[in-house]
């Protein structure tokens, strides 16, 4: 484990990638990012994978990651095999496979580039109407909520405040639409950057929960696009499923920074909870 | 080249994958799928890659492909290196690298499964209002259009009829939104299936053309989700960009079959034409 210097954020320390004795890259996957027994959050894993790709890239930021979740990934030592692709002035490609003691668990296409905060030439994605963060909620088990959030590690590492309009499921009043919306930030006080946006791209409860269909919705494939450098402060994330069919569910995330700028998009195919 | 038996569709013949003498998989990429000098269409390449993945899969259909376009791919002999991942009763994963004479050009995460035409449990994506196919247009160079479609091979292989509402650019009246909408089908008369949907997921002119920004918008990463088996007949495809910033453009496709069912979704990150 990298030692957590008080000046280093927990997110930075637990996503660190090191050069192992054999010359390959490795990470110590931190048990504090769990979403269930022995299973780590997918967005956290993408941040680790992106760091590995950046080690070998002439560019500073991840702009596109597409991941196949081969198996659930648990905590502990993991090897990161990076296959560099073409690298140019504008962007660089690589493929990264993350493997634990039992073999590969995550296989990812990564594109890196150098992002700016230059204003968009065109934008059709203004932030949605959302309650201000101080009126948003987090359904902990205080005796009043029917379906409290499981007290997993992820929820301690990312502060999440759900818009009451998409949190009815917690108090026994699920809605008719698979939509979740909430404000998110790192609990360690670190401001968002492209790596944190990868984490936020899979951080809300499954959209199926909004309709009262609880249970784990395991991600099969997830693509995240990072569109700009986010401003400091809270980010607003909204996830939405377009179609649930044959046991499959898609989830689209859009993430805006504190200034209301679209900074990331993601789409995943997941299995529907039974 | 596989011989084109009159009973075999051009699409099927030109996406065929064969076992080469050394035991690996190979394809003869057909020059008739070009979108520019020596450059083949991305959706065509994904169909070839999916066929390679299906050879090694216990399942019948591609349900998710995520591709990094490392370099432009030209016609000719290509090797398809398939790395199988976990395969179960519900789905199977693999990674496929397509390489021509000059090395890898396309690296793809593939998930296969067995799709049905079971009706959706939930759908929030009804087809958009679109002109019926007989009122839609195809801007060929007949002397009246200002920006005719380039006469590339792709346009002979896929019949495309653009909704006049998103075709103003062809007659010198570009719009203010990066949106394209059109009916598509294989010109060889073959009905759509999941492989054809992969082709359709990158078949419309770039959305930037709708705003009068002509030029090639090279795909960097593309994810396609196939959601159901399509009914016979025309498919309706709509592509839309959410944000253009820093020289980057996203494009979201949604594709409905002739019954109005959502059958595929895609998202790509592309470079903006200058």
Residues B145 and B44 in one domain: no
In a domain, B128, yes or no: no
CB contact under 8 A, B242 and A262: yes
Please say which residue of B113, B144, B179 terminates a domain.
B113
Q: What is the pLDDT of residue B117?
A: 80
In a domain, A18, yes or no: yes
Q: What is the pLDDT of residue A123?
A: 95
Tokens 């390489």 identify what position?
A: B99
In a domain, A118, yes or no: no
Per the rule left: phi > 0, alpha: psi between -120 and 50, beta: everything else, A38 is left
Q: Which of A164, A184, A202 is nearest to A39 (CA)?
A: A202
Q: What is the pLDDT of residue B5?
A: 53
Please say which residue of B55, B84, B113 terminates a domain.
B113
Q: What is the pLDDT of residue A205?
A: 94
Q: If DSSP codes are grouped into helix, strand and coil, which group holds residue A20?
A: coil
Does the pLDDT at position A1 exceed 50? no
Residues A154 and A267 in one domain: yes
Does the pLDDT at position A2 exceed 50? no
Number of separate domains in chain A: 2
Q: pLDDT of A188-239, one tens digit each?
A: 999 999 999 999 999 999 999 999 998 889 999 999 999 999 999 999 999 9
B11 touches B191 (CB < 8 A): no
B250 touches B242 (CB < 8 A): yes
Preferred mutation among A245, A257, A274 to probe B, highest tally of B CBs within 10 A: A245
Tokens 């634990």 identify what position?
A: A100
Does the pLDDT at position B110 exceed 70? yes
Residues B170 and B58 in one domain: no
Does the pLDDT at position A8 exceed 90? no
Residues A108 and A147 in one domain: no
Q: Which of B220, B114, B43 is nearest to A59 (CA)?
A: B220
Q: pLDDT of B164-183, one tens digit each?
A: 999 999 989 999 999 999 99
In a domain, A122, yes or no: no
Whole-angstrom distance, CA of residue B96 vs CA of residue B79: 10
- The mean pLDDT of B99-103, rounded to a whole number, is 94
Please state the φ and ψ torsions of residue B115, each to the nearest 5 degrees: -85, 160
Q: What is the pLDDT of residue B94?
A: 98
Q: What is the pLDDT of residue B273?
A: 76
- List chain B residues with CB under 8 Å of A227: 243, 245, 248, 250
- List chain A residues with CB under 8 Å of B121: 244-245, 272
CB contact under 8 A, A122 and B85: no
Whole-angstrom distance, CA of residue A128 vs CA of residue B154: 38
In a domain, B3, yes or no: no
How much is the mean pLDDT over chain A?
94
Closest partner residue to B267 (CB to CB) among A93, A228, A267 is A267
Residues B108 and B174 in one domain: no
Does the pLDDT at position B51 exceed 80? yes
Please say which residue of A113, A146, A181 terminates a domain.
A113
Q: How confident is the model at residue B7 (pLDDT cuts 50, 70, 90)?
A: confident
Preferred mutation among B94, B119, B225, B266 to probe A, highest tally of A CBs within 10 A: B225
- List chain A residues with CB under 8 Å of B271: 90
Whole-angstrom distance, CA of residue A15 vs CA of residue A20: 15
What number of CA atoms fall less than 13 Å from residue B125's CA on the CB side? 28
CB contact under 8 A, B93 and A111: no
Residues B101 and B178 in one domain: no
In a domain, B188, yes or no: yes
> End-to-end alpha-carbon separation of chain B, Å?
37
CB contact under 8 A, A245 and B220: no
CA dihedral A129, A132, A135, A137 (to 10 degrees): 80
CB contact under 8 A, B85 and A68: yes
Q: How confident is the model at residue A6 (pLDDT cuts 50, 70, 90)?
A: low
Q: pLDDT of A37-78, one tens digit each?
A: 999 999 999 999 999 999 989 999 999 999 999 999 999 999
Residues A175 and A238 in one domain: yes
CB contact under 8 A, B223 and A227: no
Whole-angstrom distance, CA of residue A43 vs CA of residue A20: 24
Does the pLDDT at position B147 exceed 90? no
Q: How far is CA B126 from CA B81, B193, B250, in A?
A: 38, 20, 22
Residues A226 and A141 in one domain: yes
Residues A66 and A100 in one domain: yes
Whole-angstrom distance, CA of residue B254 vs CA of residue B181: 10
Q: List the single range of A58-67, A79-88, B140-149, B157-166 with lowest mean pLDDT.
A: B140-149
Q: What is the pLDDT of residue A5?
A: 54
Residues B239 and B177 in one domain: yes
Q: What is the pLDDT of residue A133?
A: 96
In a domain, B38, yes or no: yes
Residues A189 and A72 in one domain: no
Q: pLDDT of B227-253, one tens digit each?
A: 999 999 999 999 999 999 999 999 999
**Domain harbouring B38, CATH code:** 2.40.160.210
- List chain B residues with CB under 8 Å of A91: 220
Q: pLDDT of A107-150, one tens digit each?
A: 999 999 999 888 999 999 899 999 999 999 988 777 778 888 88
Q: How far is A235 from chain B (nearest CA, A)?
A: 18
Does the pLDDT at position B95 exceed 70? yes
CB contact under 8 A, B225 and A116: no
DSSP labels, chain B: -----TTS-HHHHHT--EE-TTS-EEEEE-GGGEEETTEE-HHHHHHHHHHHHHHT-SSSEEEEEEEEE-S---SEEEEEEEEEEEE-SSEEEEEEEEEETTEEEEEEEEEEE----PPPSEE--PPPP---GGG-B----SSS-SSPPP--HHHHHEEEEE-GGG-GGGGT---SS-EEEEEEEETT-PPP-HHHHHHHTT-SPPGGGGGT--S---EEEEEEEE-SPPPSS-EEEEEE-SEEETTEEEEEEEEE-TTS-EEEEEEEEEEPP-
Q: How many CB pairs under 8 A join A and B?
A: 173
pLDDT cut 90: percent of chain B above it:
85
Domain that holds residue A39: 10-113
Q: What is the pLDDT of residue B8?
A: 86
Q: Which of A243, A240, A46, A205 is nearest to B225 (CA)?
A: A243
Whole-angstrom distance, CA of residue A29 vs CA of residue B168: 53
Does the pLDDT at position B6 exceed 70? no
Whole-angstrom distance, CA of residue A17 vs CA of residue A224: 20
A174 touches A210 (CB < 8 A): yes
In a domain, A238, yes or no: yes
Residues B145 and B260 in one domain: yes
């Amino acid at each position: 484990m990298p030692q957590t210097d008080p000046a280093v954020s927990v997110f930075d320390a637990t996503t660190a990638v090191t050069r192992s004795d054999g010359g390959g890259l490795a990470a110590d996957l931190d048990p504090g990012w769990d979403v269930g027994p022995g299973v780590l959050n997918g967005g956290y894993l993408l941040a680790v994978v992106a760091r590995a790709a950046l080690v070998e890239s002439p560019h500073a930021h991840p702009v596109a990651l597409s991941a196949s979740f081969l198996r659930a990934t648990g905590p502990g030592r993991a090897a990161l095999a990076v296959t560099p692709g073409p690298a140019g002035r504008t962007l660089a490609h690589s493929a990264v496979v993350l493997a634990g003691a039992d073999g590969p668990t995550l296989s990812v296409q990564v594109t890196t580039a150098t992002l700016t905060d230059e204003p968009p030439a065109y934008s059709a994605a203004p932030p949605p109407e959302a309650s201000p963060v101080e009126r948003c909620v987090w359904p902990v088990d205080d005796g009043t909520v029917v379906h409290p959030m499981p007290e997993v590690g992820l929820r301690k590492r990312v502060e999440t405040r759900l818009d009451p309009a998409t949190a009815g499921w917690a108090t026994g009043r699920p809605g008719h639409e698979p939509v979740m919306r909430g404000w998110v930030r790192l609990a360690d006080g670190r401001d968002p950057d492209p790596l944190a946006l990868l984490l936020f791209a899979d951080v809300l409860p499954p959209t199926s929960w909004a309709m009262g269909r609880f249970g784990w919705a395991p991600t099969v494939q997830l693509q995240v696009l990072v569109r700009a450098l986010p401003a400091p402060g809270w980010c607003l994330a909204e996830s939405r499923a377009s179609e649930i069919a044959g046991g499959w569910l898609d989830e689209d995330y859009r993430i805006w920074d504190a200034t209301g700028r679209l900074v990331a998009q993601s789409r995943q195919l997941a299995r529907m909870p039974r």
